[in-house]
Chains A and B, each alone.
Chain A
Amino acid sequence: MALRGVWQLKKLVVSYSDWGGSSKGIRAFMESHLPAFKEANPQLEVDTEMIRGQHPHLKALYKNHNDRVVCVKNMDPEEILLHATRLRNSLGRKVIKLRTRHVTKHPSVQGTWTTALKYQDEQNQVL
C-alpha cells in the first residue's frame, strides 16, 4: 500500500528451489508473471534467491522495518501472484483486530454534545 502516496513495500525477496517439487509453481511464476510484476512496480526492489531443500516463500520488507513471509509451496503461479500483490498492497503493519473502522484526529467539528449543552435559550453559556 501506499501511505499518503508513499509505497511502503521496499523489497520483495522471492526464494525458490530449482529442484524441489513444491517449487514448481514458483518457477513458473518467475518465468511468466515476475517480469511483468517488476515492471508494473518500479518503486520496489525484487530479488530472487535460490535455496535448495526448502519450500519456496515470498519475503516482504517494509519501510517500517517490518517483514512478512508468505509460504507459497505447491501453489499455482496465479495464486503466487495474488500473494505478491497482497504484500505490495499492504502497509506492513501488524495485523490486529480493528477496534474501529474510522480513524480520525479530529473527532468533532461542531463541538461535542453533552447533557449540559442547551441550544437556543442559553447560547451564551454554550459558547
Chain B
Amino acid sequence: MIFRMKDRFGLLTMHTPIRRCLQALNREPQPTLSLFKDPSSLRSFSVAAFSNHNISSPLPIFTNSKPASAFGKWHDPRYFSTSKQDDHTKKADIHEEIEDEDDSDDNYDDEDEEDYEDDDDDECVSVSSSKKVYTAEEKEAEATAIGYKVVGPLQKDDQVFKPYEPAFAVVQIGSHQFKVSNGDSIFTERLKFCEVNDKLILNKVLLLGSASQTIIGRPIVPDAAVHAVVEEHALDAKVIIFKKKRRKNYRRTKGHRQELTKLRITDIEGVEKPQIELAEKPSESAKKEQEKVPLSA
C-alpha cells in the first residue's frame, strides 16, 4: 500500500501531466492555424462568391464594414492563439504530446499504467464523470469551448422565429461544422447545461455569407453570432455493435443510442441581408452601388 502511494507521488511530481499541459498550451497556436491553413484556397473561394454578383473588379475584395474585422488582423500572429480554442484540437494536441512522451520516458510508463486513467482526470478538467458538480463559471467555460452560450429560457412573448432571410453561416459546435441559415434545424451531439426551450448563442462562426457579401473568419469571425433555440434532447436510433471472432465461440452484441440535441436556428448576426431575395432578381444597379461604396472608402 505504501508502495502504491509512493508511485502516486512519483506520478504527480516526476511524471509529466503538468509538463504536458504546459506544452499543450505553448503549442496552442498551431492547431487552429491548420483549420484554414491555406490562404490561397480561401481567396479563391471568396472570389467565387463575389463574382457571382457582377463585380467588375477582378480582385477578391471584401466589401462593406466587416472586412476590417475579418481580415484586419492578418499580420498579427497572436490573433490565432486566443483562448477560443476548440477543445478537440486541444485534446488532439494532448494526445500527440502523450505519444511524444512515450518515446522519451518509457521507464515511467511501465510503473504507472494502472494509474493512467487517474492522470487523465487531473489533466483535463473538462473530461469528467457525470456526477461532478459544476459551478456557473465552469459551465460557461465548457460551453464556450464547445462553441455556445446559454442565454436563458424562451419566453412566451419572444418573437424569435422569423421568416427566412437569405444569409448563411458556417458554425462550429464541438467538432462538427454546420452551414446554417435562418429557420434550419440541426442535430448536434447533446449539449450540456441547457434545457429544452433555452436560447443559445453559437459564437464559433467560421464563415458568413449572403447574396452580396462573404466574410471569412481566420478561423473565427469575431463579432458574428448565430442565435438558436434548443428544441429537443433525444436519443438517436439504435446502433448495434456486434463483435465476433471466428472459430473462437465469441460473439458480443451491444446496443447504443447516441444522445442528440436538436437546435433551430433563429437568427444570423453580423452579415448584411438584402431584403429582396424572394423576388427573383434584385435590382442590379442598387446592388452595385452597395458594393462600390466601401471599395472607394
Measuring CB to CB, which residues of chain A are less than 8 angstroms from any residue of chain B?
A: 1-5, 7, 86, 88-91, 95-98, 101-106, 109-111, 113, 119-120, 123, 126-127
Q: Which of B76-84, B96-104, B174-182, B247-255 contacts A (4 or more CB under 8 A)?
A: B174-182
Please tell me which one of the listed residues B54, B196, B210 contacts residue A123 in the complex, with CB atoms under 8 A apart: B54
Q: Bound state CA distance, A70 and B40, in angstroms?
A: 55
| B139 sits at the interface (CB 8 A) | no
Q: Count contacts on B: residues with CB < 8 A to the other chain.
A: 45
**Cβ of B237 and Cβ of A96 under 8 Å apart?**
yes
Q: Bound state CA distance, A97 and B238, in angstroms?
A: 8
Proximity string of chain B (258-273) to chain A, C-beta cutoff 8 Å, 1 when within and 0 when not = 0010101000000000
| B51 sits at the interface (CB 8 A) | yes
Q: Bound state CA distance, A101 and B51, in angstroms?
A: 31
Instruction: Scan residues 114-167 of chain B and give those whose CB is less than 8 A from a CB of chain A.
Output: 154, 156, 158, 160-161, 164, 166-167
Q: In the complex, which residue of chain A has the Cβ closest to the Cβ of B50?
A: A119
Residues of A within 8 A of B196 (CB): 1-2, 88-89
Residues of A within 8 A of B53 (CB): 127
**Cβ of A86 and Cβ of B233 under 8 Å apart?**
yes
> Can you list 30 pairs linking A and B with CB atoms under 8 Å apart?
A1-B234, A2-B196, A4-B161, A5-B158, A5-B161, A5-B197, A7-B197, A86-B233, A89-B196, A89-B232, A90-B232, A90-B233, A101-B186, A101-B188, A102-B179, A103-B184, A105-B183, A105-B184, A106-B166, A106-B184, A109-B166, A109-B181, A109-B211, A110-B210, A110-B214, A119-B47, A120-B51, A123-B54, A127-B52, A127-B53
| B24 sits at the interface (CB 8 A) | no
**Cβ of B54 and Cβ of A89 under 8 Å apart?**
no
